Structure 1
């Protein structure tokens, strides 16, 4: 049985912010006009987390494949165990295993990473609910954890005002 370890925000968010800032500084010269933002739980005030740092990198769709190659050439590896499409590719840092770049085509459905972060940062009640979903889902498997998180995210995004 896989058990997920979760950290309280004060245990990981300062380091997560430091890592985001460092990686943003490395990515900006490579992608001067791209959207580079901190997303995921480490970018949500008060959210518990496994301690991962997710970096949203938004580029025009026609530049996605070139961007993937450029990120990979800068000490990242394409994650093969996650969704990959013509609008999304996730890459993991070879130096910091908890750091991932979510390479997203601009104006695609995958901009939901930004919307979810923003919605939770506007609602401490949603953060508390999200934390509870995570706490209740740390076992019996990692798959169960991610399924429960995904269901919560979809529910939040579906209720987002248009």
Structure 2
């Protein structure tokens, strides 16, 4: 098992990074789509999937499955990637990392319509409302150099607010 995040929060920028993120996502999708059961959905989520959003330089992929597919897909992913020990897994969520991939790859496996099926709705809210992206970028800039746990806590609160209210938090 590998720790999936750095000790301190950092940001990266650049069009090369955006293109590399797209290539990494499509390589993942092309490789895994035929190996997953019918009905599994593979989505590019996270900052690298959102125009104008600042990123840590990694690629987040979300694999969304029916409950009966979860264990099978988790086993397949665990046979290829490291378990991300920085996040708590459960019956409806598991996370994996490939730190050797460039840019680094993070995979979120979620059960469709579960409490953890938040990644695509959050991405879609950001794509639809540039004010949310702007507020998220402000949050990220404020977190540079701070411990990852502090960033994760602020990020979780931000995501929860956006999903519950359909807008960025007032600052």
TM-score (normalizing by structure 2): 0.86
145-154 or 18-27, which deviates more: 145-154
Instruction: Indicate which of 89, 97, 101 corresponds to 1:92.
Output: 97
CA distance in structure 1 between the aligned counterparts of 2:148 and 2:32, rounded to whole angstroms: 30
TM-score (normalizing by structure 1): 0.90
Structure 1 residue ranges without an equivalent (≥5) = none
1:90-129 maps to which residues of 2 (within 5 A)? 90-93=95-98, 95-96=100-101, 98-129=104-135
Instruction: Give the length in aligned residue pairs.
Output: 159
CA distance in structure 2 between the aligned counterparts of 1:72 and 1:140, rounded to whole angstroms: 30
Distance 1:131 1:94, change over 3 A: closer
CA distance in structure 2 between the aligned counterparts of 1:57 and 1:16, rounded to whole angstroms: 16
Which residue matches 1:80? 85
CA distance in structure 1 between the aligned counterparts of 2:115 and 2:14, rounded to whole angstroms: 28
CA distance in structure 1 between the aligned counterparts of 2:21 and 2:42, rounded to whole angstroms: 15
1:142-153 maps to which residues of 2 (within 5 A)? 142-153=148-159
Which residue matches 2:3? none
1:36-91 Cα deviation digits (max 9, x unpaired) = 01011111111001111111111111221111111122x21221220211000001
The structural deviation recorded for 1:11 is 4.9
Instruction: Indicate which of 13, 22, 26 corresponds to 2:27.
Output: 22
Please provide the CA RMSD for this pair: 1.8
CA distance in structure 2 between the aligned counterparts of 1:153 and 1:9, rounded to whole angstroms: 24
Which residue matches 1:7? 12
